[in-house]
Amino acid sequence: MSGVFDINADESRYGYTPSRVATIVFVVLFGISSILHLGQAVKYRTWFMLITAFLSGVMETVGWAARFYSSFHPTNTMAYTIQTSVLVLAPTPLLAANFVIFGRLIRQLGERYSRIKPRFYTILFTSCDVFSILIQGSGGGLAASAKTVNGARLGGNIVLAGITIQAIIIVGFSLCAIEYFVRYRTATRTQSDFRLVATDEPSNASQELLPGRFTPELQRLTWALIGSTTFLFIRSVYRIVELSGGWDGRIMRMEILFNILDGAMIVLAIYCTIIVHPGPALGPSKARNDRPIA
């Protein structure tokens, strides 16, 4: 990979001047998403969304604000470094939210169809996600502080490795989720009795053996989860291709691709769990319904 410092001082750090209109749009969209996620987390008491989706929105807002500043000062090193580091890391907490949501879906529909317990499922994928963000963060820090081309190249390669690991995590998570739903649908195809609808654990052993009903509410949340994960995966693939070409590569210097395949993908992903928030279906504020449903 070529170094981030191969650009002359009189030239833009990006290879272009960031669009002022585009940066304003993304700052507004991510700022609104942060406010909405904060409000929904408080309303439904889904506190895990504060350290995942809300945090992701705040980081995206900061990153795009730095790009907005760069639209006036395209040679400013600090703004470029902030947006580079923050926008690489920002989607990671959002992905962690998907892991937690799916773990709660498993508890609602039935743990017996999962190969591992939901709690360990969440811990496993979230730990891998944290591992990838540590790699990306260390690489981004190395690239930003590098004094030589080789140092910047090494930092970029470390970031690339972290994002590649993240893409692999998404694939692994998706395969596990697909297998779970296949097992659930196979088991419930001829099922006549369902567990009590509740966010709490089943009240007795006989209830534990019954599946939870896949209500329209849970179906909508599942589709939102699928959409969010898909958009995050598209973004990861783009970032892998982008970073493979180096800091001064052709794709790195195409703003339209960055706006669509990074910015727009994260906007779509983050709004999936705003439009269909997990709180009403899975949050602790959901009222218990003790009627058996067939």
Q: How far apart are CA 32 and CA 90, in angstroms?
A: 16
What value does the mean pLDDT take over residues 210-234?
A: 91
Task: Tell me the pTM.
Answer: 0.84
DSSP letters spanning 137-148: HHHHHHHHH-SS
pLDDT at 3 over 60: no
Q: How far apart are CA 61 and CA 66, in angstroms?
A: 9
Which residues on neighbouring strands pair with residue 289, listed in sequence order?
197
Range of lowest pLDDT (45-59, 127-141, 187-201, 263-277): 187-201
Asked if residue 204 lies in contact with residue 242, where contact means CB atoms within 8 angstroms, the answer is: no
Which pLDDT band holds residue 190 (cuts at 50, 70, 90)? low
Q: Please state the domain extents for the chain.
A: 20-282
DSSP letters spanning 143-211: HHH-SSHHHHHHHHHHHHHHHHHHHHHHHHHHHHHHHHHHHHHHHHTT------B-SSPPSSHHHHTSP
Can you state the angle between helices 149-188 and 91-109, rounded to 10 degrees? Answer: 20
Q: Give the chain's end-to-end CA distance (angstroms, integer).
A: 59
Report residue 213 as tokens: 């009903």
Among 265, 251, 13, 260, which Cα is nearest to 143's? Answer: 13
Neighbours of 219 (CB within 10 A): 12
The mean pLDDT value of the chain amounts to 84
What value does the mean pLDDT take over residues 143-154?
A: 76
Q: How far apart are CA 208 and CA 189, in angstroms?
A: 18
**Is CATH 2.40.50 what the domain over 20-282 is classified as, yes or no?**
no
Q: How far apart are CA 18 and CA 188, in angstroms?
A: 52
Report residue 152 as tokens: 């910047």
Among 63, 61, 53, which Cα is nearest to 96's? Answer: 53
In the Cβ-directed half-sphere of 286, how many Cα atoms lie within 13 Å? Answer: 20
pLDDT at 196 over 50: no
Cα 217 to Cα 182, 191, 202, 262, distances in angstroms: 19, 20, 19, 29
Phi, psi of 86 (to 5 degrees): -70, -45
Q: What is the pLDDT of residue 24?
A: 98
For residue 122, count CB atoms less than 10 angstroms from its CB and return exposed for 0-12, middle for 13-18, buried for 19 or more: buried
Which pLDDT band holds residue 211 (cuts at 50, 70, 90)? low
